[in-house]
A and B are shown apart, each in its own frame.
Chain A
Amino acid sequence: MEALAAGPAPAPRNQIVVGATLASVAIAMLTGGMLAIWAVKRSAAIEAGQSWLPSGISVPEVPSNVVLIAFPALCSFAQWAVWASKRNDRSNTVFALGVSAFVALLILNAQAFIWNQMGVAVADGQYGSMFYAITGMFFALVVAGLLFSFVAMFRYLAGRTRERQILIAHAIFWYAMTAVYAAIWFLVYVTK
């Protein structure tokens, strides 16, 4: 039997970008699932005539709103890195990635401040455990994003300047995190 004809070498098909998009979908599903349970529990508590937010606890709105504003800024920095790398602008790319990491650090700081200001204990009934579960998950995702920013930056600094897909994936991750935080902000911090 004759062999099948060999074809041309396949063109790159954005494997990292597709993978990052799927990972972002997974993050959205994780958050969506948790927020759905949050909404069910909150609704049940209110229907039973109970207060969802424990008495004496107030949500610090300033840091939660600041985080909401910080995310679009973070996305623009991540996109700036992509834009600069396409123009082989090494200094701007590294600077944009560095600023992305810095904003992620600020977000982590703001989240820690929210925990400190609210003063809810994990064992404070259903609100406490669920609040720390969902905000802790968000905190862990931002830590992952921070590491991603550092990895992208160090790879670029090390000379892998042609691998732009990882910078696009990095930007996709932060876009997804912006959507995730917007949902958390509305359900956890606004509707309370």
Chain B
Amino acid sequence: MTTIDSSPDTSGDSTLARPLAAGVDWLTSSDHKKIGRILVGAGLLGLLATIVANLLIAIERVDGGAAALDSDSWAQLLGSQRVGLVFGTALPLAAGLAVAIVPLQLGARAIAFPRLVAAGTYMWLGGLILSFVSLLNNGGFGGGDGDMVDLFLAAHGLMALGFTAVGISLVTSVLTTRAPGMTMRRVPFFSFSALVFGIGLVLVMPVLFGAMIYLFVDHRSGAREAFGGNEGIYTWAGWIFTQPSTFLFAVPALGLFAELLPVTFRKRAKLRGLVFGGLSLVGVSALAAVTQQLRFDVPWEGSQLSVADGDDFSTKLGDVAPWAMFHLLPLLGAGILFLMMLFLAKPAKDDDGETILPNITAGFLFAFFGFGMIFVGMVGSAIEPIVDLGLVDTVFSEASLVYVAYGIALGAMGGIVYWAPKLWGHTLDMKKVAPLALLGVAGTILAAFPHYIAGFLDQPAGLVYDNGDLQIWNILVLAGHGLMVLTVMAFAGLLVAAMAGSEQNAVDDPYDGQTIEWATTSPAPTSNFVDVLLITSAEPLLDLKTANDSNTGSAS
């Protein structure tokens, strides 16, 4: 054997060794694109598992009076739904997309603290698996098995630590790894949303971890006096599973929507500060989690929202301010993004007098529908606390959570489609993917909107209801979750088929992009860029194309 021969240990075509080595390579990788894809992939699996839990709940609810499951199983199923929507779906999809894409958008060769992100990812994954194990064994909110309840609490502490680590890494990346010339005003919208999201995680997750420490010590020690044991878990930690805390997890999906607006309508986004402000306003919802607000009560008549003679205005203002701050400001932020879309969608002509036609891609369709669903969820969440409407403790709250979580999932799918060339080297077929966006939005509306109506008709949040007229709404919800299963399975199938199919087919810049991730090859190499790029505006690639067009014109 000469010195340049390959080692027989590594060059052998063993059918076991290669997949094993590839698996180890993925699991121990510090490449942010791989870590992000692990989060996104696990998030899609979590989404599927959550939809299955939602389907079981919906099947149970169709016949509201006769439950096939006992009360313990019913409680675990509802717990699985909440855990799945927040920790199994919304958080990993939002975080995964941010981890995979933000360094590319910043012109960085790596994410800050890559091993910390990897550790955070596995803490989350381990925590999620343990929490589902505990839920399957009578743990969770109000669970009957003490050890499994302890496991549930510890698992959530682990997940909170994991997402704190991810948040620290994302924020540090945006603050310290930007390419030369990329000032904060030139940061792409999606990366800015990742900054807001990351700051929110750093503020919120430690508070959740602290609550879990209290609950764990109280429950494990046997005292079970301070927090009511298993029954107190939702009272003291339920704020992370409901609105407006969950709006924070929607910020990257909204950032993606803002990111795709200038690309879709082929214009520069003016008033960038307004978009940054809108995304930040949605991030205000993090403060609701920091202050651990589970419930807002806003009576309409006779109290906060009307001031009669002799009423103390300052007291009323103090009562209504938290609700307005945590519900209306995020809504205002999302509204700003919608106005930006209308502004950019206004017909315009280019230098040659030709009308600029929008380039509507499947990624934009997903992102647009995701934005819409999140917005409807925000509106529902804002009106739910108005006591006079009688929506508290009805299925209305569950519907707004489904709107927000499924909206985030649709947004994340949009991000996967849009950045698939950079992550996998494949461009997904618009004709195959776009119908899935329509199917997904139909599924989300059917899975949530009937429960908005049922909430007004006083269907309680639990399983049983007396009014037979409510059945039709629950059948529609069942159909909606069924459509979502089809959407996610078909989407995952298309993604796997594209990856496993033909050779990598994506060009470097298939969507006429404006930001610098489109300047590198498809798929992006391990260190993202060969050279460190010099940024001169918020749309560096657009500048370059315009300059090239001018040079071509003057030369001819």
Contacts and interface: CB of A to CB of B under 8 A. Distances in A.
Contacts, number: 145
A39 interface: no
Nearest to A23: B168
A6 B519 contact: no
B430 interface: no
B105 to A, nearest CB: 14
A62 interface: no
27 contacts: A1-B509, A4-B534, A4-B541, A6-B534, A7-B180, A7-B531, A10-B180, A13-B176, A19-B113, A19-B168, A22-B172, A22-B202, A25-B203, A26-B164, A26-B167, A30-B207, A33-B208, A33-B211, A36-B292, A122-B223, A123-B223, A129-B214, A130-B217, A132-B221, A133-B213, A137-B210, A137-B213
A137 B209 CA distance: 10
Given A1-B548, A6-B531, A7-B532, A22 B171 contact: yes
Nearest to A19: B172
Chain B contact residues: over half helix, strand or loop, or mixed?
helix
A126 B225 contact: yes
Which of B169, B176, B292, B516 has the largest number of chain A CB atoms within 10 A? B176
B226 A41 contact: yes
B540 interface: yes
Contacts of B292: 33, 36-37
Contacts of B227: 126
Given A2-B544, A4-B533, 10 more contacts: A10-B178, A18-B175, A18-B176, A22-B168, A26-B167, A29-B210, A36-B291, A122-B217, A129-B225, A130-B214
B234 interface: no
A57 interface: no
Interface string A2-25: 111111111001110011001101
Given A19-B172, A33-B290, A129 B217 contact: yes
A125 B225 contact: yes
Interface string B267-298: 00000000000000000000000111000000
B392 interface: no
A30 B208 CA distance: 8
B456 interface: no
Contacts of B175: 13, 18
Contacts of A41: 226
A92 B31 CA distance: 38
A4 B544 contact: yes
- Counting chain A residues whose Cβ lies within 8 A of the other chain, the interface size class is 35 or more
Interface string A109-140: 00000000000001111101110110011000
A18 B532 CA distance: 22
B341 interface: no
Nearest to B219: A129
Nearest to A127: B226
A168 interface: no
A37 B235 CA distance: 12
Contacts of A84: none
Given A29-B203, A30-B206, A133-B218, A8 B180 contact: yes
